[in-house]
C-alpha cells in the first residue's frame, strides 16, 4: 500500500502491498475502495491517499454529487408538498426538507420559503436506499448559518466536487486572500454549488471567476491571481 | 488514406483521446483508434424514469446513434450488447433507483467500430468517475481469406474478411466479458484470435492509465506544492 | 414448504440443486429439454415449421414475394426474419410495436443467416438487376418458457428447408414475369446452423437451455451457433465474465447438439415425405 499512495489507481486493481505493521491493524476504507473476498479492490479512478493512522481513500475527479450524511449543501426548492419542500441538490433523487426544520418554526409559524429559493441546508439522512432529507437547524435548534440564502441577490455557480473540497480545506488561501481586498459573502455547498454575493455586479463576477480559475492552481499562484484581481478592480 | 490507417497485423492502431471536453455531461470522451472515431457522453448516477426504475440496482441505458439514417434493429443490438457489458462492469448496487446513461455518437467508422465504442464508453465512465467493478477493453480482429489474423482492422480489411471477431476483457482477472464472433472459422482459429486479442488488451488498459494520468496531472501537480493534510 | 423457499430465496433454491449437478426439473446441467419438430404445418405458406423445446413453442412461416433488387447487389435476393413476442406467449410483453428483446432477436436471426451463409442469396435471383425473391420469415412465439434464441433459429432453418418456390418465367408476348404455382422448386440450403444457448449462474456454472425461471436468475448468457464441424457465431452480450478455458467445453457441447438436432430434423423430413 505504501508504494501505491499518491499514485493513480484505476477500478479493478487489487491493492496488495501492505506494511507488516499495518496488517495487524484494521484499515479504514474510504470512498473509492471496497472489499471483496479478502481483497481490497479499487472502484473509482483517482489518486490513492493515506492519512494516519490507518485511513485509505481515493481522491477522484467528479462532477456529479452523491448525497452523503452531514454534508452542507445548497439546494433549489422545486415544489411544496403538504408539510415538506422538495429540494433539488444535484443528486439522483430530490431531497425533502420539512417546514419544521427551520429555526423558530412551529405548526402555526411557517417559514417563509418559496419555490425557486436557494437553501443552505444539512443532510440529515442520505443513503443509497432512501430519499435524502435536509434540515436547516442543527441538533440544538439553532440555524448556524443555514436557511434560505440569496434573497437579496447574489449568484450561484455549479462546479466540480473537487474544487469545492479544495476550497473548504484548511490550507486553501483563496478566500483569505480575496477577503483582504474585497468584501463578499460566500456559501459553499459540498454538492458543487457555490453562492457568491458582493457589493456590485462586477465584483461578484470577479469573485466567481477567481473561484473557477483556482481549480488547478497552487496556493502561490492563487495569491498572485488575487493580487492581480484586486489591482484590476481598483482601477490600475 | 491508406498510409495513416495502415498497420501491422500484431499491433493496434494509434489511439488518442480527449476527456472532459463537454460542459454538461458528467463525463465525456472522444476516442480515435486510427481513423475510427466515436464520442461518448455519460450522465450519472442521476434520475431515472419510473417505469425503468430497478429497486436494487442502477439502470444502465445506452443510446447509440449512427452517423446517418434512422435507428433500426442493428442499432438496438449494439445498444443491448454495450448495455449488458456495462451492467456487469459498473457497480450498480451502489446506486439503486438511479440511472447511468451512455450516449454514443458515431463520428467515423473506419473499421473496428464496436471495439472503439466500448473503449470510448469505458473512458467516459472513468472521466465521470462512476464506481466500477473493473475496467473493460475491447479488441477486434479479422481472419482474412488466407487465414491471417489481423488485429484492429480498417474498413477495407473488414469488408473482405472471412470472419470478424470482437472480444472484451476485464482488467481484474482477464476473463472474457463479451464475445461477438461472426463468420466462418474453426475452433483453433478462434482460440488463436482470443490469445492475440488478450495480449493486445493490455495495451488498451495502459492507454486508459496514460489518459487518466494526463487528466489528473493538473490536480496532482497542485498537490505536490501543498503539504499533506 | 418447498414453494415458500423457492419464492423467498430463488437463487439459493437453485444452488442446492446445482451443487448436486441437477436442475429442479430433473435435467442435468448440460441436458436439453425434449425437442419436437413439425414441418410444413402452414399449407398457405411457402415454407413453415413449428418447434417446441420443452414448453417454448415457436412457429415460423415463410412467404415469398417478388421485388426488385438493391442496386449495389443486383443478383442477390433478401431474407427478412422477424420475431414477434406478443402478450399471448407471456405476460411480460405488451402489445404494440416490437420491444427491444424482439428487435434484438430478429437482428440476431438475420446475422445468423448472413454469417452461416446457409442460403446462397444468388439462388433467389430470377433476373439479375430486375427481379429477385424476397423471403419474409415471420416467427411467432406461442409459448415463452426461456431459450427463445435456440428455438427461433431452429424454426427458421427448418422452415427454410421446407420452402418451395414457384418457377418464374418471362412471358415473351406480354413481357411480364409469370409464376407457375404448380411447378415448385425446393430451396437449397448450403448449411444448417444450430444454436446452443448457455446461461451463466454465479461464477463458473454454465447451464444449457435455460427455462424462463432460470433466465430470470441468470447473470449472463452465451450463444454458440455451430455448423457441422465449425463454429459460425459466438455471441456473449456482456454478463458475468467467463475464463477462456471454459470455452472448449462449450464448443463441444454446441457441436454435439448440432448433430442431434440435424438428425432430428432429417428424421422428421423423411417421415413426412
Q: Indicate the residue of A43, A218, A219 with minimum beta-carbon distance to B132.
A: A43
pLDDT in tens, B168-215: 999 988 899 999 988 888 888 888 889 999 999 999 999 999 999 988
Is residue C2 included in any domain, yes or no? no
Is residue C222 included in any domain, yes or no? yes
Q: Indicate the residue of C100, C111, C243 with minimum beta-carbon distance to B80.
A: C100
Are residues A224 and A161 both part of a single domain? yes
Q: What is the Cα Rg of chain B in Å?
A: 18
Return the residue of B nearest to A31 by Cα: B131
**Interface contact B190-C234, CB threshold 8 A:** yes
Q: Is the pLDDT of residue A166 over 90?
A: no
**Interface contact B88-C231, CB threshold 8 A:** no
Is residue A12 included in any domain, yes or no? yes
**Chain B / chain C CB contacts < 8 angstroms:** 102
CA atoms within 13 A of residue C176's CA, in its CB half-sphere = 5
Domains (ranges, CATH) in chain B? 2-210 (3.30.230.70)
Q: What is the side-by-side strand order in the sheet with A155-158? A: A155-158, A193-198, A184-189
The answer to whether B164 faces chain C, any CB pair under 8 Å, is: no
Q: Which pLDDT does position C117 carry in this prediction?
A: 87
CA distance C137 to chain B (A): 16
| CA–CA distance, C199 with C239 (Å, rounded to integer) | 10
Q: Are A72 and A80 in contact (CB under 8 A)?
A: no
Is residue A3 included in any domain, yes or no? no
Which residues touch C43 (CB under 8 Å, ≥6 apart)? none
Range 61-100 of C in CB contact (< 8 A) with B? 100
DSSP character for A62?
A: -
A196: domain CATH number?
Answer: 3.30.1370.10
Q: Which pLDDT does position C197 carry in this prediction?
A: 93
Return the residue of A nearest to B227 by Cα: A171
Phi-psi map region of B216: left, alpha, beta (phi>0 left; psi -120 to 50 alpha): alpha
Are residues A34 and A49 both part of a single domain? yes
CA–chain centroid gap for B190, Å, is 21
Q: Indicate the residue of A61, A64, A128 with minimum beta-carbon distance to B44.
A: A64
Q: Which pLDDT does position C20 carry in this prediction?
A: 85
Is residue A160 included in any domain, yes or no? yes
Q: Which pLDDT does position B224 carry in this prediction?
A: 47
| DSSP labels, chain C | -HHHHHHH-HHHHHHHHHHTTB-TTS-BTTPPPPEEEEES--TTSSEEEEEEETTEEEEEEEEEEEEPPPTTSTT--EEEEEEE--TTT-TT--SSS--HHHHHHHHHHHHHHHHHT-S-GGGGEEETTTEEEEEEEEEEEEE--S-HHHHHHHHHHHHHHH-EEEEEEEETTTTEEEEEEEEEEEPPPS---EEEEEEEETTTEEEES--HHHHHH-S-EEEEEE-SSSEEEEEE-SSS-B-GGGHHHHHHHHHHHHHHHHHHHHHHHHHH-
Q: Which pLDDT does position B134 carry in this prediction?
A: 93
- A/C touch flag: 3 or more CB pairs below 8 Å: no
Give the domain extent around C249. Answer: 16-272
CA distance B168 to chain A (A): 15
Give the domain extent around A104. Answer: 72-149
Cell numbers linked to C148: 427463445
Is residue A48 included in any domain, yes or no? yes
Global confidence as pTM: 0.89
pLDDT band at B222 (very low <50, low <70, confident <90, very high): low
Q: Residue C104: name the closest of B83, B61, B77, B62 by CA.
A: B77
Q: Which pLDDT does position A3 carry in this prediction?
A: 59
Q: Are A7 and A59 in contact (CB under 8 A)?
A: no
A18: domain CATH number?
Answer: 2.40.50.100
From chain B, pick out residues whose CB is under 8 angstroms from the CB of A12: 132-135, 170-172
pLDDT band at B6 (very low <50, low <70, confident <90, very high): very low
pLDDT in tens, B83-106: 999 999 999 999 999 999 999 999
Task: Supply φ then ψ for residue C257, to 5 degrees.
Answer: -60, -35
pLDDT in tens, B109-127: 998 999 999 999 999 999 9
pLDDT in tens, A177-209: 888 888 889 999 999 999 999 988 888 998 999
pLDDT band at B227 (very low <50, low <70, confident <90, very high): very low
pLDDT in tens, B21-79: 888 899 999 999 999 999 999 998 988 888 888 888 999 999 999 988 888 888 899 99
**Interface contact B226-A171, CB threshold 8 A:** yes
Q: Pick the residue of C103, C202, C241 with the most B CBs within 10 A to test the interface with B by mutation.
A: C241
Are residues A77 and A111 both part of a single domain? yes
Is residue A77 included in any domain, yes or no? yes
Q: Which of residues C29 and A17 earns the better pLDDT score?
A: C29
Return the residue of C nearest to B179 by Cα: C236
Q: Which pLDDT does position C13 carry in this prediction?
A: 86
Q: Which pLDDT does position A22 carry in this prediction?
A: 56
Q: Which pLDDT does position B87 carry in this prediction?
A: 93
Q: Is the pLDDT of residue A103 over 80?
A: yes
| Count of structural domains, chain A | 3
Is residue A192 included in any domain, yes or no? yes
Q: Residue A24: name the closest of A54, A58, A48 by CA.
A: A54
Q: What is the side-by-side strand order in the sheet with A14-15? A: A14-15, A39-42, A33-36
- Rounded mean pLDDT, B147-167: 89
pLDDT band at A19 (very low <50, low <70, confident <90, very high): low
ipTM above 0.95? no
Is residue A55 included in any domain, yes or no? yes
- Rounded mean pLDDT, A91-111: 87
**Interface contact A162-B44, CB threshold 8 A:** no
**Interface contact B133-A43, CB threshold 8 A:** yes
Phi-psi map region of C184: left, alpha, beta (phi>0 left; psi -120 to 50 alpha): beta
From chain A, pick out residues whose CB is under 8 angstroms from the CB of B95: 66, 92, 128
Q: Which pLDDT does position C238 carry in this prediction?
A: 83
| CA–CA distance, B133 with A11 (Å, rounded to integer) | 6
Are residues A160 and A145 both part of a single domain? no
| CA–CA distance, C266 with C268 (Å, rounded to integer) | 5
C139: domain CATH number?
Answer: 3.30.230.70
DSSP character for A156?
A: E
Are residues A204 and A165 both part of a single domain? yes
Is residue C134 included in any domain, yes or no? yes
CA distance B218 to chain A (A): 6
pLDDT in tens, C195-228: 999 998 877 788 899 999 888 888 899 999 998 8
Cell numbers linked to C211: 427455462
Q: Which pLDDT does position B223 carry in this prediction?
A: 53
Are residues A170 and A222 both part of a single domain? yes
Q: Which pLDDT does position A23 carry in this prediction?
A: 57
Are residues A169 and A140 both part of a single domain? no
From chain C, pick out residues whose CB is under 8 angstroms from the CB of B173: 241, 243
Is residue A168 included in any domain, yes or no? yes
| Count of structural domains, chain C | 1
pLDDT band at B2 (very low <50, low <70, confident <90, very high): very low
Q: How many CB atoms lie within 10 A of CB A30?
A: 13
Average pLDDT value for chain A = 85
Amino acid at each position: 500500500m505504501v508504494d501505491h499512495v499518491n499514485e493513480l489507481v484505476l477500478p479493478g486493481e487489487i491493492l496488495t502491498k501492505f506494511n507488516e505493521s499495518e496488517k495487524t491493524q484494521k484499515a479504514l476504507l474510504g470512498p473509492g475502495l471496497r472489499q471483496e473476498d479478502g481483497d481490497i479492490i479499487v472502484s473509482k479512478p483517482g489518486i490513492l491517499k493515506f492519512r494516519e493512522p490507518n485511513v485509505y481513500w481515493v481522491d477522484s475527479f467528479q462532477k456529479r454529487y452523491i448525497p452523503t450524511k452531514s454534508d452542507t449543501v445548497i439546494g433549489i426548492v422545486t415544489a411544496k408538498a403538504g408539510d415538506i419542500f422538495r429540494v433539488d441538490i444535484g443528486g439522483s433523487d430530490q431531497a425533502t426538507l420539512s417546514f419544521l426544520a427551520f429555526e423558530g418554526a412551529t405548526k402555526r409559524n411557517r417559514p417563509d420559503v418559496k419555490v425557486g429559493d436557494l437553501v443552505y441546508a444539512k443532510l440529515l439522512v442520505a443513503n443509497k436506499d432512501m430519499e435524502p432529507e435536509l434540515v436547516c437547524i442543527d441538533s440544538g435548534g439553532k440555524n448556524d448559518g443555514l436557511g434560505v440564502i440569496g434573497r437579496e441577490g447574489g449568484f450561484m455557480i455549479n462546479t466540480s466536487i473537487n474544487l469545492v473540497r479544495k476550497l473548504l480545506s484548511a490550507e486553501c488561501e483563496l478566500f483569505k486572500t480575496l477577503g483582504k481586498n474585497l468584501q463578499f459573502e460566500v456559501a459553499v455547498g459540498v454538492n458543487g454549488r457555490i453562492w457568491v454575493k458582493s457589493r456590485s455586479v462586477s465584483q461578484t463576477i470577479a469573485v466567481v471567476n477567481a473561484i473557477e480559475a483556482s481549480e488547478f492552481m497552487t496556493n502561490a499562484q492563487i495569491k498572485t491571481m488575487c493580487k492581480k484581481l484586486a489591482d484590476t478592480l481598483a482601477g490600475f | 488514406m491508406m498510409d495513416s490507417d495502415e498497420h501491422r497485423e500484431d499491433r493496434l492502431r494509434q489511439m488518442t483521446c480527449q476527456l472532459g471536453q463537454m460542459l454538461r455531461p458528467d463525463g465525456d470522451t472522444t476516442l480515435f483508434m486510427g481513423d475510427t472515431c466515436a464520442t461518448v457522453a455519460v450522465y450519472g448516477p442521476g434520475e431515472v424514469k419510473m417505469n425503468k426504475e430497478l429497486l436494487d440496482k442502477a439502470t444502465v441505458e445506452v443510446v447509440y446513434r449512427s452517423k446517418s439514417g434512422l435507428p433500426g434493429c442493428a442499432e438496438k443490438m449494439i445498444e443491448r450488447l454495450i448495455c449488458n457489458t456495462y451492467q456487469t462492469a459498473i457497480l450498480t448496487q451502489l446506486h439503486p433507483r438511479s440511472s447511468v446513461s451512455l450516449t454514443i455518437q458515431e463520428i467515423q467508422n473506419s473499421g473496428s467500430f464496436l471495439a472503439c465504442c466500448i473503449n470510448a464508453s469505458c473512458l467516459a465512465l472513468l472521466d465521470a468517475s462512476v464506481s466500477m467493478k473493473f475496467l473493460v477493453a475491447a479488441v477486434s480482429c479479422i481472419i482474412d481469406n488466407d487465414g491471417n489474423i489481423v488485429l484492429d482492422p480498417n474498413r477495407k480489411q473488414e469488408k473482405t474478411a472471412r470472419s470478424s471477431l470482437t472480444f472484451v476483457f476485464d482488467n481484474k482477472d482477464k476473463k472474457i466479458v463479451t464475445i461477438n464472433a461472426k463468420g466462418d472459422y474453426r475452433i483453433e482459429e478462434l482460440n488463436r484470435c482470443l490469445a492475440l486479442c488478450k495480449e493486445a488488451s493490455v495495451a488498451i488498459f495502459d492507454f486508459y492509465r496514460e489518459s487518466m494520468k494526463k487528466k489528473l496531472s493538473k490536480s496532482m501537480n497542485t498537490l505536490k506544492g501543498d503539504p499533506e493534510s | 414448504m418447498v414453494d415458500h423457499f423457492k419464492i423467498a430465496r430463488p437463487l439459493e433454491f437453485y444452488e442446492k440443486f446445482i451443487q448436486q449437478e441437477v436442475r429442479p426439473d430433473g435435467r442435468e446441467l448440460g441436458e436439453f429439454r425434449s425437442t419436437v419438430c413439425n414441418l410444413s404445418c402452414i399449407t398457405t405458406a411457402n415454407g413453415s415449421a413449428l418447434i417446441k423445446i420443452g414448453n417454448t413453442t415457436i412457429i415460423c412461416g415463410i412467404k415469398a414475394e417478388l421485388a426488385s433488387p438493391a442496386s449495389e447487389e443486383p443478383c442477390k435476393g433478401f431474407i427478412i426474419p422477424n420475431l414477434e413476442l406478443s402478450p399471448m406467449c407471456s405476460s411480460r410483453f405488451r402489445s404494440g410495436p416490437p420491444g427491444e428483446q424482439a428487435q434484438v432477436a430478429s437482428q440476431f436471426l438475420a446475422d445468423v443467416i448472413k454469417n452461416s451463409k446457409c442460403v446462397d442469396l444468388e439462388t433467389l435471383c430470377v433476373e439479375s438487376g430486375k427481379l429477385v425473391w424476397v423471403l419474409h420469415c415471420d416467427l411467432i412465439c406461442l409459448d415463452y418458457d426461456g431459450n427463445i434464441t435456440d428455438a427461433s433459429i431452429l424454426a427458421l432453418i427448418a422452415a427454410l428447408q421446407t420452402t418451395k418456390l414457384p418457377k418464374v418465367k418471362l412471358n415473351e408476348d406480354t413481357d411480364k414475369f409469370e409464376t407457375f404455382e404448380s411447378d415448385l422448386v425446393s430451396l437449397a440450403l448450403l448449411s444448417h446452423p444450430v444454436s446452443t444457448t448457455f446461461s451463466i449462474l454465479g461464477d463458473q456454472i454454465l447451464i444449457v437451455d435455460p427455462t424462463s425461471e432460470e433466465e430470470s436468475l441468470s447473470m449472463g448468457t452465451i450463444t454458440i451457433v455451430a455448423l457441422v464441424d465449425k463454429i459460425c457465431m459466438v455471441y456473449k452480450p456482456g454478463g458475468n465474465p467467463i475464463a477462456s478455458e471454459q470455452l472448449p467445453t462449450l464448443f463441444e457441447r454446441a457441436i454435439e447438439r448440432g448433430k442431434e438436432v440435424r438428425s432430428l430434423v432429417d428424421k422428421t423430413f423423411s417421415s413426412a415425405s
